[in-house]
Amino acid sequence: MAVTLITEQKARIDARIRSAALAAGRNPSGIRILGVSKRQPRERVAAALAAGIRDLGENYLQDAMARITEFGSAARWHFIGRVQSNKTRPIAQHFDWVQTVCDRRIARRLSSQRPVHAAALDVCIQIAPWEQPERGGALPETVPALAEEIEALPRLRLRGLMVMPLPGRDAEDLAAEFRAARALYDRLCEAGHALDTLSMGMSDDLEIAVAAGSTMLRIGTALFGPRKD
């Protein structure tokens, strides 16, 4: 039952992405779905994998470790919660991506704790909300220097930027924030950084994000249904 439901929901998301991409003059194949599986029952996670989702995002380390143990390499595992310094070692050891790097101290810890036999850890710099930077993330003006530092670290691979806007923003303000993030992404690329990921947009605002240039959408509710907090 869960497989059928999530397959149908993924088809609806795919249709929304295709429509939004074509309206923006973009190729839909350049936009990936990151299934936000936090607090979801394991049968829904299994159903998402069966439906073709290959990227899964987790916020809570303890829950994520149980999923990674069970499903392993069936998915690419993205840490999308706030990275605490006392939890960098298991994150560096077990995840494929960390999307919420926002300072050099955390970046250095992740690099030094990444196992030498593992592939480089893919990371995104999380940008702080423009209006309330205290909510977490790197200030936009600090991002170029942080990008340089990350690229100099031996066990990390800088992939791009991640945007987590404040909740409740209207469509116009949200679009402006997404466009500003895209402009910063483009400046980093022009400066020589080989980026390929702009992680922004969720279930309710994916059309706005696609129009602004998102390459990865973090989809929870629209894919899995309401989560059990």
The pLDDT tens digits for 92-149 are 999 999 999 999 999 999 999 999 999 999 999 999 986 666 678 999 999 999 999 9
Which CATH number among 3.20.20.140, 3.20.20.10, 3.40.50.720, 3.10.450.200 corresponds to the domain 2-224? 3.20.20.10
Q: What is the mean pLDDT of the chain?
A: 94
Q: Tens digits of per-residue pLDDT, 39-92?
A: 899 999 999 999 999 999 999 999 999 999 999 999 999 999 999 999 999 999
Token pair of 53, please? Answer: 């989702």
Token pair of 26, please? Answer: 């973009």
Model-level pTM? 0.95
| pLDDT for the residue 131 | 64
Domain spans in the chain, listed from the N-terminal domain onward: 2-224
Measured from the Cβ of residue 49, the count of other Cβ atoms closer than 10 Å reads 18
| Residue given tokens 């602004």 in the structure block | 212
Sequence-distant (≥ 6) Cβ neighbours of residue 169 within 8 angstroms: 177
pLDDT score of 206 more than 80: yes
